[in-house]
Amino acid sequence: EVQLLQSGGGLEQPGGSLRLSCAASGFTFSTCAMSWVRQAPGKGLEWVSTVSGSGSGIFYADSVKGRFTISRDKSINTLYLQMNSLRAEDTAIYYCAKDQRATSTRGSFDYWGQGSLVTVSS
Amino acid sequence: QSALTQPPSASGSPGQSVTISCTGTSSDVGGYNYVSWYQQYPGKAPKLMIYEVSKRPSGVPDRFSGSKSGDTASLTVSGLQAEDEANYYCNSYAGSNNVIFGGGTKLTVL
């Protein structure tokens, strides 16, 4: 059974940093691209970032480029999102998601984590 | 890129069919056969219902179908059931390793 168990998140001040984690099990981690998708309170979904199965391909939405860093540790089957220079508009539930593809994303995320709430406020 | 355009709401009675549209441009929906649809219940994570325009993942009822014409993709739910009441989101590949989502449609089963 595929499982994505998220941790991290919480309340941070503008300009601060947070790290999200997503522990994966039930599938061959290194063969699947992994992504982060966020959802602001009461709003729609927004793709944030994707890392390829090998870790060599990394892609970001313009809204987070230069501030967020996606990474993966294949030794412990874990995906990360390091979020720096946080802004109020980054407030959202962040979901990790497994992609159906290996090298990049075309938007088909077949398994999702439970979500982590990130609140950016002073 | 701008978000894809979905109607804010849709509704139908049990047993009826309802279609939700998702309109983009030739740079996203119209340019690639990579449109996905997600079902999301309040407080829950999204669930993949359709990928690559019209393909259903294992376990998704065949009451759910997808199609595309030009810059507009559509999700049709046939034989509506009470448990189909949820929010539905489309997304599309937009080139250069970017993905954009629609604003979402709240489906109400009357």
Report how far apart the first and last C-alpha atoms of chain A are (Å, whole number). Answer: 40
Helices (H) and strands (E) in chain B, counts: 0, 9
Contact residues of B toward A, CB < 8 A = 3, 32, 34-36, 38, 40, 45-48, 51-52, 57, 89, 91-93, 97-104
Tell me: the pLDDT tens digits for B44-65? 999 999 999 999 999 999 999 9
> Is the Cβ pair B46, A45 closer than 8 Å?
yes
For residue B2, what pLDDT band results from cuts at 50, 70 and 90? Answer: confident
* A9-30 residue pLDDT tens: 999 999 999 999 999 999 999 9
A59: chain B residues, CB-CB within 8 Å: 97-98
How close is the nearest chain A Cα to the Cα of B92, in Å? Answer: 6
> Among partner residues B36, B98, B102, which is closest to A44 by beta-carbon distance?
B102
Task: Read off the pLDDT of residues A86-97 as tens digits, 9 standing for 90 and up.
Answer: 999 999 999 999
Q: Position B56: which residue type? A: R
Provide the token pair at A12. Answer: 């941070």
Neighbours of A91 (CB within 10 A): 17
CA of B36 to nearest chain A CA: how many angstroms apart?
6
Give the residue from A106, A110, A112 with the most B CB atoms within 10 Å of its CB, the best one to mutate: A106
Which residue in B has a C-alpha nearest to residue A42's C-alpha? B42
- pLDDT at position B1 over 80: no
A27-80, pLDDT tens digit by residue? 999 999 999 999 999 999 999 999 999 999 999 999 999 999 999 999 999 999
* A contact residues 13-52, partner B, Cβ 8 Å cutoff: 37, 44-47, 50
- What integer pLDDT is reported at residue A9 of this predicted model? 93
What is the structure's pLDDT at B76? 98
The total number of residues shown for chain A amounts to 122
Q: Which long-range contacts (CB under 8 A, 24 or more apart) does B42-49 make?
A: B42/B87, B45/A95, B45/A112, B45/A113, B45/A114, B45/A115, B46/A37, B46/A45, B46/A95, B46/A109, B46/A112, B46/B89, B47/A112, B48/A108, B48/A109, B48/A110, B49/B75, B49/B88
Give the closest-approach CA distance of B11 to chain A in angstroms.
Answer: 19
Contacts of B61 (CB under 8 A, 6+ apart): none
pLDDT of residue B87: 98
